[in-house]
Chains A and B, each alone.
Chain A
Amino acid sequence: MTAAKAVLRAWLPPVVAAAIMFGCWEALLAVLNPDGFVLPPPSRIVSALFGDFDTISTATGITGFIIVTGLIAGVAVGALAAVLVTAFRSAHETLTPLAVAVNAVPIIALAPIFNAWFGILSPRSNQAVVVVLVFFPVFINTTRGLGQVEPSQIELMESYGAGKWRIMSEVRIPNAMPYFFTALKLATSLAVIAAIVAEYFGGRQDALGNIITNSAGLTRYDDAWAAVLAGSLVGIGLYAIAVVLERLVMPWYFAARRAT
């Protein structure tokens, strides 16, 4: 199979499926709901997006910054905590129950409280929601990957006189990579949800979350949908970056899967 054919084979089915879905959406609304008030057809959402492009692009920049910074911080803290918990038994005994307890809290519900901490107009409170929400899946998945190592591989490293940290860097961390990237892909969409919902409760007035609530409140549903679309595009973009990173960081994983 040539490279062009392979690309076509990978991309054609989802593109066709999406075209059919949006086509049906457009056509059904034209028949059933011509004024498209509550659910506008895709064409009107796109024209609303470009009709007020400056507002939407500014809002996407503000919310996108919260999403990306919160995502990076949450992923970093989650991965670091996983390494600590794996390296030190005492850390495992104290940190893991704490993380589980924090996860049991409905984190989105903390948004108004974070607003009180950081100031209602500060992006800090929105970032904090993203960090806390992203932390847990990364922490749990990465911890699992760091721990689920073939025992003979650990014994092998010990037989070479390798210490705990060398085993961590040579065996546990590479072994955890597939688990980490699964969590990262999950975290990208969680970060988008967390940032936008957190903005419903506070943060800058020109961010995506506030545009959605304000436009819906004014029955300007086209604008609300345009903001939703912008948020989706950020989520899709981040997911794609995670997929590309995964391929770059662990080409061996995909080579191994091709071989077996």
Chain B
Amino acid sequence: MSDAPDANGPDGDIAPDVAAVELDGVGKVFNPGRSNEVNALTGIDLRIAPGEFVTLIGPSGCGKSTLLRLIAALTDVTDGSVSVNGKTADRARLDRDYSMVFQRAGLFDWRNVSRNIELPLELMGWKAADRRQRSAEMLDLVKLSEFARHHPAELSGGMQQRVAIARAMSFDPKLLLMDEPFGALDEMTREHMQNELLRIWAETQTTVIFVTHSISEAVFLSTRVVVMSPRPGRISAIIDTDLGERSEATRDHPEYFANVTAVRNALRGDHAS
């Protein structure tokens, strides 16, 4: 489709000096020039290195989901530029450089669990036998192997979301974009899913950009937390929260609490202004 040089090496690895995501002066205005014009994002500069786990946090209306959609090329920027793995966002979308997980698992009722995971592989033209084998591997990764032939509606909310993650990871995307993926789950399931996600992230070395409005979730998961504030949506602070290898014990760690306080203060700071 394109004769532009590929930023990836011959084996698909990304050169280490190419950012996974690079946002340069990004702004987004909805309905420009109309009475319902909304300045959703302004002056966003952010560079995310391969392998990072970056969380976007902020109150409703701060544009964190919009920012994720700009990176995914599901909506266009008004100002500035977005590059993903050194390409334009839309090129990266068509090259399937990233994969998305939404708050709703969004599994298709007309496909069983295994065939839901195979969907992106079908779109990429994989052979049936290869698809089936990869789907089995992914079900193993999310520990749902015995549910391969089950119907999505027969699974609990947490299990459905694990299938959605397996689907997203099925073609080894270099970047995983997650829009409040655990927002609809109960607290116990949510903590379990966070542990699972960290395990998968460690196993696959994927870059993750994660949108949430839970401070504890952001701090527990990420290497960096990007704090955003509304009207117009902008970055108000970036906090390093890398706690190294994390486990259940991390949730009781003093450094974890210190990071929670730091993120909370950053979020409060913009309420005061």
Q: Contact residues of A with B, CB < 8 Å? A: 150, 152-153, 155-162, 166, 170-171, 174, 177, 250, 252-253, 255-256, 259-260
What is the CB-to-nearest-CB distance from B271 to chain A, in angstroms, rounded to a whole number? 30
Is the pair B100, A159 in contact by a Cβ cutoff of 8 Å?
A: yes
- Give the one of A159, A252, A253, A255 with max B CB within 10 A: A159
Q: Is B102 an interface residue (CB 8 A)?
A: yes
Is the pair B153, A156 in contact by a Cβ cutoff of 8 Å?
A: no
Q: Which residues of B contact A171 (CB under 8 A)?
A: 108
Q: Which of B71-106 contact A (CB under 8 A)?
A: 72, 74, 93-96, 98-100, 102-104, 106
Q: Which 3 A-B pairs have the closest CB atoms?
A: A259-B153, A256-B153, A152-B102
**Majority secondary structure, A binding face:** helix
Q: Contact residues of B with A, CB < 8 Å? A: 69, 72, 74, 93-96, 98-100, 102-104, 106, 108-112, 119-120, 123-124, 151-154, 177
Is the pair A159, B99 in contact by a Cβ cutoff of 8 Å?
A: yes
Is the pair B74, A158 in contact by a Cβ cutoff of 8 Å?
A: yes
Total A-B residue contacts, Cβ distance less than 8 Å: 66
Is the pair B123, A156 in contact by a Cβ cutoff of 8 Å?
A: no
Q: Identify A152's interface contact among B104, B111, B177, CB under 8 A.
A: B104
Q: Identify A153's interface contact among B103, B108, B120, B123, CB under 8 A.
A: B108
Given contacts A159-B72, A159-B100, A166-B123, list 12 more A-B pairs with CB under 8 A.
A152-B102, A152-B103, A152-B104, A156-B100, A157-B123, A162-B123, A170-B108, A252-B111, A252-B112, A252-B151, A256-B153, A259-B154
What is the CB-to-nearest-CB distance from B97 to chain A, in angstroms, rounded to a whole number? 10
11 A–B contacts, CB within 8 A, in A order: A150-B104, A152-B103, A155-B69, A158-B93, A160-B120, A160-B124, A170-B119, A170-B123, A252-B109, A252-B112, A259-B151
Is the pair A156, B102 in contact by a Cβ cutoff of 8 Å?
A: yes
What is the CB-to-nearest-CB distance from A152 to chain B, in angstroms, rounded to a whole number? 4
Chain B residue, CB-CB nearest to A153: B106
Is the pair A256, B106 in contact by a Cβ cutoff of 8 Å?
A: no
